[in-house]
Amino acid sequence: RGPMFKQRINEKFHQGHCLDAHKYYGAHFDYESTPGVRFTTYAPNARNVQLVGSFNNWEKPLNLERLSDGSWTVFVPDVAEWTLYKYKIEQADGNWVEKSDPYAFASELRPKSANLVVNLGNFPWRDQMWVNRREKYFDKPMNIYELHLGSWMKRDAHEWMNYEEIAHQLIPYVKEMGFTHIELMPLTEYPFDGSWGYQAHGYFSLTSRYGTPKQFMTFVDECHLNDIGVILDFVPVHFVKDNFGLRYFDGTPLFEYPNPHDANSQWDTLNFDLWKEEVRSFLLSSASFWLETYHVDGLRVDAVSNIIFWHGNKNNGTNDGATAFIRRLNYYLNVRYPGVIMMAEDSSDYPKVTHPTTEMGLGFDYKWDLGWMNDTLKYYSLDPVYRQFHHHQLTFSMAYFYSENFILPLSHDEVVHGKGTIINKLWGDYKQKFAQARNLYAYMYSHPGKKLNFMGNELAHFREFDENVEQDWFLLGYHTHHSFNRFFRDLSHIYKHHSCLSHHDYKHHGFKWIDADNANQSIYSYYREDEESVVIVILNMTPVSYESYRIGVPYKGSYTEIINTEKDIYDGCNMCNFEPLVSEKHEAHRFDNSILVRIAPFAGVYLEMKK
């Protein structure tokens, strides 16, 4: 951290191209004339900046030296790790305020807001093999388990577990359930539990709710040693208004837009000014920090439509400065971390979200297919009598699917705010809801695109997500829920181990309709294939059964049922195809060969033929 290092960071910081601002700003152990900590912050319009902390019992504030670029710095000898500190800032208007360090690596537990000096180096990582071979999974199965760490499971059902304790419980469960990745709701420090981390103030500060930075490193390390990727939610659109945070940091809109209309968001937070180069460097560095320091494997960028359009509204026009920032973010992270996944949570129809920045795309690797989610859940909520009139809702997704690299999400957004959980949205009585849910997931896991499910989906959770209450694990004591959980597990492993269900997700030849137009019977049929095998998928969307339903097949041969949503072990009626189905020379659905299939009410059936 010599003068040349600091100068390079400083230049890039003001140019908006810095990924390492946190290595200069913040609190860093240093050895100048004596061991100590150097504190540096950026407050160009402040009249004075002082440091207070537990190192001097919060008495006699230390004045920071103002540098020519608007930064302020002071070296304090003999500061121990876990020392508490804050900045006192005389703002541009002469008011004095106490502020948290925007670049702090740790903070006190809310409602307190002081920061802690921590050393993030010298962790004994064991995951180098994983890091060296990680990739973006375009042609591999990616089955993501989204969760909120504070309510997935609690200690004694009431207290939070720490990161290490969660790892001991979560990792075996994730492996058993066939997930390949976990996606954690935001862990950047935030003051209000009810925001779930989406209203943050500490963009380099790991939330103290669940332990220390080194404990989280252990969590990630253990995930990697068990072949589980870790994705974090990242929120570069807006931040909390709390006075101790980024708001009017030096008495001027340093982080937010100067125009109040642009600055104030729909969430009662403040929007980052993504046209300002120093703000761009702040967020570039934050994203890079989580990938480098904690070995995180990907970022899910929240509310991308609010980056693309002013206030997320297409009628307001494109926010060109913000889209320039997101291109820059994706470009730089892809260069520095080639195997890391960048994922857009975007509800807009803006084109080229997952196209390279060199083609003026936004540069994401994946985009959430929220259109698929909305159409699918609307269809499954319909009485089967009326589904024939809405048949296109399940075929429409394939009309646009290859325009982007889509992920199919059934996320936390669908199980909160009175929307009902996934199983609660589905048509039917109690038993029919479970049959529908199994059918829904058979559809989801055979549709092209990577998969994402929020915690509780795999339990057929009836209660909406509550950040204060752990999941209803007691449901596994009930036969119907236990059977559904077993189905979800088996389906995940079939998806994971049958490569044709994922290998050609984003290539046209990986998916073909057999019959997309049977609206009268509300039966859909299609197949997925790769070089090794073909899997025929049949989805019956009504309570009508068929003893001999003829379906065309692309190849002559023997088709074996590998999963049936109505099998008895899943609490179904057990109307299955117990013997291999040998094709016969009988034309159907434009194919020369066909098979006769037993189809139970609401059944989802997978039939595989090895090539």
Label residue 590 left, alpha or beta by phi (over 0 means left) and psi (-120 to 50 means alpha): left
- The catalytic residue among 20, 233, 256, 345 is 345
User: Would you say 175 and 74 are in contact if contact means Cβ atoms under 8 Å apart?
Assistant: no
Containing 538, the helix (H) or strand (E) segment is: strand 533-540
* Range list of β-strands (E), 391-522: 406-410, 450-454, 511-515
Q: How far is CA 552 from CA 148, 165, 357, 564, 609, in A?
A: 44, 52, 42, 19, 13
Token pair belonging to 440: 């829904």
302 labelled catalytic? yes
- The catalytic residue among 302, 529, 561, 571 is 302
Residue 19 CB coordination number (10 Å)? 24
User: Would you say 262 and 56 are in contact if contact means Cβ atoms under 8 Å apart?
Assistant: no
Token pair belonging to 255: 């982080």
What CA–CA distance (Å, rounded) separates 316 from 412? 28
Closest C-alpha among 365, 366, 348 to residue 408: 366
Q: In what order do the strands lie in the sheet with 65-66?
A: 26-31, 35-42, 71-77, 65-66
What CA–CA distance (Å, rounded) separates 496 from 231? 18
345 labelled catalytic? yes
What CA–CA distance (Å, rounded) separates 343 from 467? 24
CA angle 42, 48, 53 (to 5 degrees): 80
Burial 442-476 (b: 16+ CB within 10 A, else e): bbbbbbbbbbbbbbbbbbbbbebbeeeebbeeebe
Active site amino acids: 302, 345
